[in-house]
Amino acid sequence: MNNALDKHGFAMDLVEQTATPFYYYDLDLLHATLDEINRQIEGHPFKVHYAVKANGNPRILKEIAESGLGTDLVSGGEIKAAIAAGFDPREMTFSGVGKTDWEIRLGIENGIGCFNVESIPELEVINQLAGEMGKKAGITFRVNPDIDAHTHKYITTGTADNKFGISIEALDQVIRHALTLPHVNLRGLHFHIGSQITEMQPYVMLCETVNRLLDRYDAQGIHFEIINVGGGLGIDYMDPDAHPLPDLEEYFGTFKRLLKLRPNQLLHFELGRAIVGECGSLISHVVFVKETRNKKFIILDAGMTDLIRPALYEARHKVQNLTAADSDGQETYDVVGPVCESSDVFAHDCLLPVTRRGDLIAIRSAGAYGESMSSCYNMRSLPSSVFAGGK
Ligand SMILES: *Cc1c(COP(=O)(O)O)cnc(C)c1O
């Protein structure tokens, strides 16, 4: 069925027969990415968890579960979805600063591997609820490494000013407290420094921080079974055709070279965007081409309700016209959605082939934080999804 691929790799028969807007997932690319991850970690005490919040589409989850990854979860709903997709509960980590009682109970009931604890009140509640259920909950502490955001602007979650994690100064005391609690089992330390990180320097700094902490706790006779370095590896939004896979060799190589794991210690990674980002595109039709005095607008049937990243973070995605050819001549357009918000803009001043009503437009690299952040604002329908390739 998916024989005729266009120059960007889209199965055009599938694209043309599906009502827009929809997400198009290239399962061959997803599997190529997963296979490369498994190749990079082979022979190392490494375990990769998929961050489900990046994309919780059931088919995507099932494909990733089959490749043997664990999961990083941030809600009870995600725990349920991961279990339904066949992920192993023992390889689940539940993160988040505001875990509610039912979510904690759900995790304990299902025997998830770790609660990634972000505060002392949370530690107390997990201990209490596990006690009531006659169980012991595995925990890691989420450490806020306070890596300077001004030096590294792409780091957004690992500084002292944000809500995530426990500060390094408070850590000694929190660990000592946890070791006295009967219903938690302290398994390790966790770090997650930010997202869309495309240079290795923040990870180099993270390795140095982790090495320092491991020395410190060695001296106190405390061994951690798990070190979790979070996720955040970025993708190429500007040129997805040139870099369909992130540089996984450089990423894992940085930790292989620099992080001094102890014997019987596992290194966990939690990748979201790097796994699913490039395999998804948002496909839409051009509803109108509209000209004003100084601008030409392409108005799509897809909007910020389908892909909110441009409106939310001023993120930029590659926009491609799948119908028109460059040989038709080119024009500069603003590419916008139909939603009643000025921020419903996918691209400013975008050079595209001369575009007409009815043309098919692909918004690339939309596999992560696209469908999973979609909404029904303006009483629009949620986008559907189709899958090309795969086993
Ligand atoms: C969001 C998140 C991730 C994944 O981040 P990516 O940038 O998609 O790799 C990993 N760990 C935690 C704790 C997260 O909140």
**Residue 36 above 50 pLDDT?**
yes
Calculate how far, in angstroms, residue 389's C-alpha sits from the geometric centre of ligand 1: 27
Residue 99 has a pLDDT of: 98
As a whole-number percent, the residues of the chain with pLDDT over 90 amount to 90
State the sign of the Cα–Cα–Cα–Cα dihedral 346, 351, 352, 356.
positive
**Residue 1 above 60 pLDDT?**
no
**Residue nearest atom 7 of ligand 1, based on CA coordinates:** 232
Report in angstroms the alpha-carbon separations of 334 from 236, 322, 377. 21, 17, 22
Residue 161 has a pLDDT of: 62
Ligand 1 atom closest to Cα of residue 195: 7
Mean pLDDT over 135-158 rounds to: 74
Residue corresponding to tokens 């993160």: 95
DSSP line for 42-53:
TTSSEEEEEEGG
Mean pLDDT over 257-262 rounds to: 98
Dihedral angle computed from the Cα positions of residues 364, 367, 372 and 374, in that order, rounded to the nearest 10 degrees: 10
User: What are the respective helix, strand and coil percentages of the chain, to the nearest 5?
Assistant: 30, 25, 45
231 lines ligand 1 (CB under 6 A): yes
User: How far does CA 177 lie from the centroid of its chain?
Assistant: 32
Calculate how far, in angstroms, residue 13's C-alpha sits from the geometric centre of ligand 1: 35
The per-residue pLDDT for range 71-125, each reduced to its tens digit, is: 999 999 999 999 999 999 999 999 999 999 999 999 999 999 999 999 999 999 9
271 lines ligand 1 (CB under 6 A): yes
54 lines ligand 1 (CB under 6 A): yes
Residue 309 has a pLDDT of: 97
Calculate how far, in angstroms, residue 208's C-alpha sits from the geometric centre of ligand 1: 20
Q: Which residues pair with 334 in a beta bridge?
A: 297
Output phi, psi for 190, to 5 deg.
Answer: -130, 145
Going by their DSSP bridges, the two strands 319-321 and 345-353 should be labelled as unpaired
Gyration radius of the chain over CA positions: 22
**The residue type at 92:** M
Residue 151 has a pLDDT of: 44
